[in-house]
């Protein structure tokens, strides 16, 4: 069995050269990135009881970034001292990520792998699944595979899109057809997953939800913020019991 959807992988492979172009096809993700990082860091500090704010306060934490793309999340966390490993089912994405991290003098391990065939002997304190589950072939297998790679009491972040009428209007019609933030066909609304569906799949693998938050875009401020509104973008922080 596999989680790889070749059509989905090809979409992102075709765009791989633009990962680090802040004005290119991934501009929305660059705008989205700061609020994601802020949320993730706050939960990591709380869960692992990190008190101080020294420069490399994530040192000694092993993080796995699943579906890492060009490394947009991997690199900021590496700069904060974390031992970061990134995996992606697109070979082209991994090549771009390796090149960019080398230019940035960052020691990030990147592998052209999907979680079910990543035979890593070590387990990770933190696993990131950000905007990836809506592109995989088998969500339960994907979660099961990530669960195996997570340490006991480790935490996992799963960010995705809710399957609602609002998300269809905003994420498909708005972002792809009207604003042209994303190439048409980037998302398939039928693959969006409701929070209760995702939580059920997490619970099935003994992953307990610690927190769930929505992300909302404010067009007046041109900024993203965290919210209790889960109707479009949301993130689940769960713990391995």
Tens digit of each residue's pLDDT (9 = 90 or more) over 116-160: 999 877 899 999 999 999 999 999 999 999 999 999 999 999 999
Percentage of the chain lying above the pLDDT 70 cut = 100
Q: What is the pLDDT of residue 193?
A: 97
Domains and CATH numbers, the chain: 6-162+194-240 (3.40.50.150)
pLDDT band at residue 2 using 50, 70 and 90 as cut-offs: confident
* pLDDT band at residue 186 using 50, 70 and 90 as cut-offs: confident
Burial of 142 per CB tally in 10 Å (0-12, 13-18, 19+): buried
Strands (E), the chain: 62-66, 83-87, 109-111, 124-130, 150-161, 207-218, 223-227, 233-240
- The reported pLDDT for the residue numbered 187 is 85
Q: Can you give the pLDDT at residue 1?
A: 78
Residues 6+ apart with CB under 8 A from 51: none
Other beta carbons within 10 angstroms of residue 53's beta carbon come to: 7
In the predicted structure, residue 46 carries a pLDDT above the cut 90:
yes
pLDDT band at 11 (very low <50, low <70, confident <90, very high): confident
Candidate from 68-77, 119-128, 201-210, 230-239 with smallest mean pLDDT: 119-128
Per-residue pLDDT, averaged over 202-220, amounts to 95
Please tell me which residue, 135 or 53, carries the higher pLDDT value: 135
Q: What is the mean pLDDT of residues 169-183?
A: 81
Q: Is 154 exposed, middle or buried (CB count within 10 Å of its CB: 0-12, 13-18, 19+)?
A: buried
pLDDT tier at 12, thresholds 50, 70, 90: confident
208-211 CB contacts, 8 Å cutoff, 24+ apart? 208/238, 208/239, 208/241, 209/236, 209/237, 209/238, 210/43, 210/47, 210/155, 210/237, 210/238, 210/239, 211/43, 211/236, 211/237
Q: Kindly list the distances between the CA atom of residue 210 and the CA atoms of 98, 181, 203, 206, 220, in Å, as whole numbers in the listed order.
A: 33, 32, 12, 12, 31
With cut-offs at 50, 70 and 90, classify the pLDDT of residue 22.
Answer: very high
The C-alpha atoms of residue 222 and residue 172 are separated, in whole angstroms, by: 19
What integer pLDDT is reported at residue 88 of this predicted model?
A: 96
Q: How confident is the model at residue 98 (pLDDT cuts 50, 70, 90)?
A: very high
pLDDT of residue 226: 97
């Amino acid at each position: 069995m596999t989680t790889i959807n070749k059509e989905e992988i090809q979409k992102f492979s075709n765009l791989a050269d633009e990962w680090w172009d802040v004005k290119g096809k991934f501009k929305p993700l660059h705008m989205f990135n700061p609020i994601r990082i802020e949320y993730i860091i706050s939960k990591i500090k709380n869960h692992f009881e990190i008190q101080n704010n020294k420069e490399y306060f994530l040192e000694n934490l092993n993080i796995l970034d699943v579906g890492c793309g060009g490394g947009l999340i991997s690199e900021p966390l590496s700069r904060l001292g974390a031992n970061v490993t990134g995996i992606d089912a697109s070979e082209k994405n991994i090549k771009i990520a390796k090149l960019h991290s080398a230019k940035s003098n960052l020691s990030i391990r990147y592998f052209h792998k999907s979680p079910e065939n990543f035979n890593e002997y070590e387990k990770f304190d933190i696993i990131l699944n950000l905007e990836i589950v809506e592109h995989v072939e088998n969500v339960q297998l994907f979660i099961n595979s990530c669960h195996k790679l997570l340490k006991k009491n480790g935490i996992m972040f799963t960010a995705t899109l809710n399957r609602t009428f609002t998300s269809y209007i905003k994420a498909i019609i708005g972002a792809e057809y009207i604003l042209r933030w994303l190439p048409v066909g980037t998302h398939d609304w039928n693959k969006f997953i409701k929070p209760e569906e995702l939580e059920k799949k997490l619970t099935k693998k003994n992953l307990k939800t610690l927190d769930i938050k929505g992300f909302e875009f404010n067009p007046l401020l041109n900024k993203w913020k965290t919210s209790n509104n889960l109707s479009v973008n949301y993130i689940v922080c769960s713990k391995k019991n």
